[in-house]
Amino acid sequence: MEMAISVDLSAPQLRPEAVLQLIDQHAAQRPAQNILFKVSEPAFRLHRGRLSNIVAVSPTEAARMNAELDVSGSPTDYLVSGAEWRCTQCRRYLNFFDIYESGKNHHDNEFFKIFLGGGDYHIQVAREASLLEVACTECGTVNELKAPVHYSGTVGGSAYTYL
């Protein structure tokens, strides 16, 4: 089985609102496997503009990711939104840096460079019962973030959101 079904909706002739409506319909009832939508920059920007409860990384966290991945993102290029994701132990707000650090247990820097440094825009709809195990970088507690959790990175013309 593929890791994700890939769907290309990046044609500039497609209306961003219509693209997001299709993606939202798939997110409303979770699919059996992940769906990775390639979208246009206007569709991605519209999507990011609709996010709420945004938590960005700190300048120090952004600098560390930038140095490790040889990219140049600002703190607001790396965000988590959709709910108040707090560590169950220390109550610190979890952010993209926690997801990135936890992801390093599963992915190498080349994966993150593609994720953040390529030239495409993606929105991924998580499969049914999807969850992320994210260790808090402050206290080390592993937290379960159940979909829908929105996390997003945009650096150098690339963007990715996981719904």
DSSP for residue 92? P
Can you say whether the dihedral through the CA atoms of 33, 116, 163, 7 is positive or negative? negative
3-class state of residue 55 by DSSP:
strand
CA distance 126 to 31: 7
User: What percent of the chain lies above the pLDDT cut of 70?
Assistant: 85
Report the mean per-residue pLDDT for the chain: 84
CB within 8 A of 148, min separation 6: which ones? 27, 82, 126, 163
Q: What's the pLDDT band for 142 if we cut at 50, 70, 90?
A: very high
Of 54-63, 99-108, 121-130, the least confident: 121-130
pLDDT of residue 137 exceeding 80: yes
The answer to whether residue 157 scores a pLDDT higher than 60 is no
pLDDT on residue 10? 95
> Angle, nearest 10°, between helix axes 16-28 and 41-49?
60
Please answer whether residues 78 and 96 qualify as being in contact, where contact means their C-beta atoms are separated by less than 8 angstroms. yes
Identify the DSSP state of 39: E
pLDDT bin (cut points 50, 70, 90) of residue 49 is: confident
Tell me which of 3-7, 98-102, 110-114 is least confident.
110-114
Q: What is the pLDDT of residue 67?
A: 93
* Nearest Cα residue to 115 out of 99, 138, 129: 99
Is the pLDDT at 151 greater than 80? The verdict is no
Mean pLDDT value of segment 101-111: 85
Residue 46 pLDDT: 92
